[in-house]
Amino acid sequence: MAQEPAAPQYVRPEEQRGLRRWKCKTCQFVVEAELLPFRCPRCGASRVKMEEVASG
Ligand SMILES: [Zn+2]
């Protein structure tokens, strides 16, 4: 009976760099940045319209 290898526990590069994803609720544009952007770079919406995207 062969044992299946454990699931890989690799860390994604963007997580190592501390990058997080922020989605604009106005235009659905996703920004990758360490911190919440001041404005949406696509539509210019205020940061209050940006929310963090939960990965996974
Ligand atoms: Zn936007």
CA of 5 to the centre of ligand 1 (A): 42
| Dihedral angle of Cα 47, 29, 12, 54, to the nearest 10 degrees | 60
- What was the pLDDT predicted at 31? 94
Domain coordinates in residue numbering, the chain: 16-52
Which CATH architecture best describes the domain 16-52?
Answer: Single Sheet (2.20)
Model confidence at 6, pLDDT cuts 50, 70, 90, reads: confident
How many H-runs (helices) and E-runs (strands) does the chain carry?
1, 3
CB atoms within 5 A of ion ligand 1 belong to 24, 26-27, 29, 40, 42-43, 45
- What was the pLDDT predicted at 5? 73
Distance (Å, rounded) from C-alpha 1 to C-alpha 51? 47
pTM: 0.66
CA of 20 to the centre of ligand 1 (A): 16
**What value does the mean pLDDT of the chain take?**
85
CA of 51 to the centre of ligand 1 (A): 11
